[in-house]
Amino acid sequence: MKKDLNKVLHGIASAPGIAIAQAYLYSKDFEEIRDGIITDTDEAVLNLQEALAKSKKELLKIFGLAIDKLGEKRAAIFEAQLMILDDPILFSNIIKRIQNEKRMPEFIVNDEISKYQELMNQSHEAYMKERSHDIEDIKNRIIRNLKKKKWKSKIENDVIVVAHSITPSDTVLFSRVNVKAYVTDMGGLTSHASIVARSLNIPAIVGLHDATNLIENEDILIVDGFHGDIIINPSEEVIRKFQDKIEKLSRADKELIKLKDKPAVTLDGKEMKLMANLDLNEEVELIFQNGAKGVGLVRTEQLFDNAESFPEEEEQYKYYKEIAEKIYPETVIIRAFDIGGDKVLPVDLKEPNPFLGWRGIRLLIDSPNLFRTQVRAVLRASVNKNIKFMIPMVTELGEIRKFKAMLEECKKELKKENISFDKNIEYGAMVEIPSAAVMAREFANEVNFLSIGTNDLIQYLLAVDRGNEIVSSLYQEFHPAVVRTLSYIITEGKKAKILVSLCGEMSSDPVALPLLVGLGLDCLSLSVSAIPTAKKIINNLSYKECKKLADECLTYPTEEEINKRLHEFFSKKIILKSEDLLGEMK
């Protein structure tokens, strides 16, 4: 059947740019079980034993982490999972079958364990289905370790990834191949796919609902990340039109890159420090190309996705040290793991309200062993004195003090071990929870710097889940409460004479920039790819006028008025030299 040409889908334009490439439908079940004949059964059995040992090590680490937090029921499930790895009946059967049938261990493991799951699923008791789910978890762990992730290389280069949703570990996987664009059914502007796409400077369209049904593998797609349009199997004429656009854009980009070594200074001489957010190692090169002044946010959660288990101190140390060395002499701000319970505990931790649950500094304080590995690794990597450390999800002073106690403890340990580190390492707190914003004065007296995380701050302040499409329109970055809260935090930080920076998606919004400058921020940390444009805009602003604009916005009672005023200001004051770029963006 001949396919329709030029079918258009429309979603949320979440990362700018245009891409033309083949679709690659990514679904979780591509972690398929391979079957095949093997010749060396001894090696296969050895592989199985290694996979079991590795799985056991992973589980023991998890088990040792926060056992008191698990509750008896989950603790029992963990213990049972561990025991399954030692189940003599199960594995003598599996090994016998590998030797007799000469099939791949992953096939036999899956086949054998699935038999038990089927029995559980046949039961009429609801809890047996849950139990089957727990077994699934351990089965997948063994299989994953058996495969040692060889499947990663299967994804082809230069494709547009079409997925239901994309998790951080998925994007790590994709970062190894040259993905041209992301298209997802779920998600909003601040979903993971959007953030990563923006930082890697590739277009993304999210919130399409059923793209994965409407697009087929190997369909040719045009993704227009400026307008949120996807054209499926475009005609040659349409392709030509978009190729022209891509050409024009790359010319405009080159012009922006020329700004690389120039500072971001307003017309009347106020300098803004523009730092980069770092999600993936691969971005380090882009940081220099785009002229960032250091890294204002290293999201260390990536380490979890790579390892599929807890990153050891040594692995972390190497990772932090490498970034710090590459960025030297500029500063790198490393954020402590901002992970939720679902990340550390692979079983059955379904919090009814994860955003209000066990995550960020709360989880780290409860998991001193894990936290210690990170604090020690950061300290060890800080020898060149260009690392700062910050803690996420702080709600009260007590958490900052507990962190400081941990820091002192680790310093003492390292001293004893004769390991060098930056004795005066600076540390800061994220202000991303309303209670932290209200307490900004006291927080400012306790730390070396504050970093405002607008994504969470807005979400918590307005009680809007930014990933929930039904209410996401209520996620308003120009809500008067947001503007006033930002102003309060910045003012209190200045009174305490400490640095206040802002590291949410808001800093990548060109329309928000005059307001942020006017509110008195000295430092922004934003997606690498947004830095040249931000610089260009700041170079065309007058701080005095921005200050007036901010003061004005602080008086408005509605989002509508602030939004209108900011857009008006933007279109009147910002004259981007590159007409092409402005034309494509608007």
Partner 1 sequence: MIEKKVTIINNAGLHTRPAATIVKIASKYKCEFFLFKDGMNINGKSIIGVMTLAAEKGSELILTFDGEDEDKAAEEITDYFNRGFDEM
Pairing of strands 264-265, 271-278: antiparallel
Report the nearest approach of partner 1 to the CB of residue 369 (Å): 24
3-class DSSP state of 167: coil
Instruction: By CB under 8 A, tell whether 127 contacts partner 1.
Output: yes
SS3 track for 219-277: CEEEEECCCCEEEECCCHHHHHHHHHHHHHHHHHHHHHHCCCCCCEECCCCCEEEEEEE
Report, in Å, the least distance between residue 49 CB and partner 1.
Answer: 18
Stretch that binds partner 1, among 99-107, 121-129, 322-330, 516-524 (CB under 8 A): 121-129
Best CA proximity match to 297, nearest among 519, 452, 468, 520: 452
Using CA atoms, how far apart are residues 113 and 94, in angstroms rounded to an integer?
A: 9
Question: Which CB sits closer to partner 1, 128 or 238?
Answer: 128
Report the residue from 1, 37, 89, 470 that binds partner 1 according to the rule CB under 8 A: 89
Under rule CB under 8 A, residue 68 binds partner 1? no
Site for partner 1 contains 350 (CB under 8 A):
no
CB of 59 to partner 1, least distance (A): 14
The smaller minimum CB distance to partner 1, of residues 127 and 586, is found at 127
How many residues bind partner 1, per CB under 8 A? 24
Residues 304-343 binding partner 1 (CB under 8 A) are none
Contact between 194 and 187 (Cβ < 8 Å): yes
Scanning 115-123, 258-266, 480-488, 533-541 for contacts with partner 1 by CB under 8 A, the matching segment is 115-123
Using omega within 30 degrees of 0 as the cis cutoff, is the peptide bond preceding 16 cis? no
- What single string gives the DSSP state of each residue in 500-560? EEE-SGGGG-TTTHHHHHHTT--EEEEEGGGHHHHHHHHHT--HHHHHHHHHHHTT-SSHH
The interface region with partner 1, picked from 76-84, 408-416, 458-466, 556-564 by CB under 8 A, is 76-84
Any contact of residue 8 with partner 1 (CB under 8 A)? no
In the bound state with partner 1, the residue whose beta carbon lies nearer, of 76 and 471, is 76
Site membership for partner 1, residue 1 (CB under 8 A): no
Cβ proximity to partner 1: between 48 and 327 the closer is 48
Q: Which residues are catalytic?
A: 192, 503
Sign (positive/negative) of CA torsion 153, 156, 160, 164?
negative
What Cα–Cα distance (Å) separates residue 397 from each residue in 25, 73, 338, 441? Answer: 47, 33, 18, 11
| Contact between 95 and partner 1 per CB under 8 A | no
CB of 88 to partner 1, least distance (A): 6
Which is nearer to partner 1, 129 or 565 (by Cβ)?
A: 129
Answer yes or no: are the C-beta atoms of 449 and 521 closer than 8 Å: no
Question: By C-alpha distance, which of 469, 206, 425, 172 is closest to 320?
Answer: 425
60 touches partner 1 (CB under 8 A): no
Q: Do the Cβ atoms of 360 and 338 come closer than 8 Å?
A: yes
Q: Determine, following the binding rule CB under 8 A, whether residue 80 of this chain makes contact with partner 1.
A: yes
Decide: is 349 part of the binding site for partner 1 (CB under 8 A): no
Stretch that binds partner 1, among 37-45, 78-86, 421-429, 502-510 (CB under 8 A): 78-86
Q: How far is CA 256 from CA 205, 267, 427, 533, 541, in A?
A: 24, 18, 33, 7, 16
Q: Is 83 in the site for partner 1 (CB under 8 A)?
A: yes
Residue placing its CB nearer to partner 1 in the complex, 84 or 336: 84
Tell whether residue 87 is a contact of partner 1 (CB under 8 A): yes
Residues 131-160 that bind partner 1 (CB under 8 A): 131, 134-135
With DSSP H G I counted as helix, E B as strand and the rest as coil, what are the percentages for the chain, rounded to 5? 55, 15, 30
Stretch that binds partner 1, among 129-137, 208-216, 498-506, 531-539 (CB under 8 A): 129-137
Structure tokens at 375: 């604090």
- Specify the stretch interacting with partner 1 by CB under 8 A; choose among 24-32, 47-55, 120-128, 427-435: 120-128
Looking at 125-133, 188-196, 424-432, 468-476, which segment touches partner 1 (CB under 8 A)?
125-133
Q: Find the shortest distance in angstroms from Cβ 346 to partner 1.
A: 15
Q: How far apart are CA 151 and CA 34, in angstroms?
A: 10
Please pick, from the candidates 13, 15, 65, 77, the single residue that binds partner 1 as defined by CB under 8 A: 77
CA distance 395 to 433: 6
Query: Does 347 interact with partner 1 (rule: CB under 8 A)?
Result: no
Q: With respect to partner 1, which residue has the nearer C-beta, 89 or 463? A: 89
What are the tokens at 104?
């791949």
3-state secondary structure of 1: coil
Asked if 123 interacts with partner 1 (CB under 8 A), we say yes
As a whole number of angstroms, the distance between CA 285 and CA 276 comes to 11
The answer to whether 207 and 469 are in contact (CB under 8 A) is yes
Strands 387-391 and 426-431: parallel
| CA distances, 549 to each of 515, 558, 574 (Å) | 7, 15, 14
CB of 260 to partner 1, least distance (A): 59
Does residue number 116 form part of the binding site for partner 1 (CB under 8 A)?
Answer: yes
Residue closer to partner 1, measured from CB, 116 or 556: 116
Instruction: Please report how close the Cβ of residue 125 comes to partner 1 at its closest, in angstroms.
Output: 5
Q: Cβ 349 to partner 1, closest distance in Å? A: 15
Sole residue written with tokens 């946010």 = 297
Residue closest to 205 by CA, chosen among 159, 163, 253: 163
- Residues at the site binding partner 1, with contacts judged by CB under 8 A: 72-73, 76-77, 79-80, 83-84, 87-90, 113, 116, 119-120, 123-125, 127-128, 131, 134-135
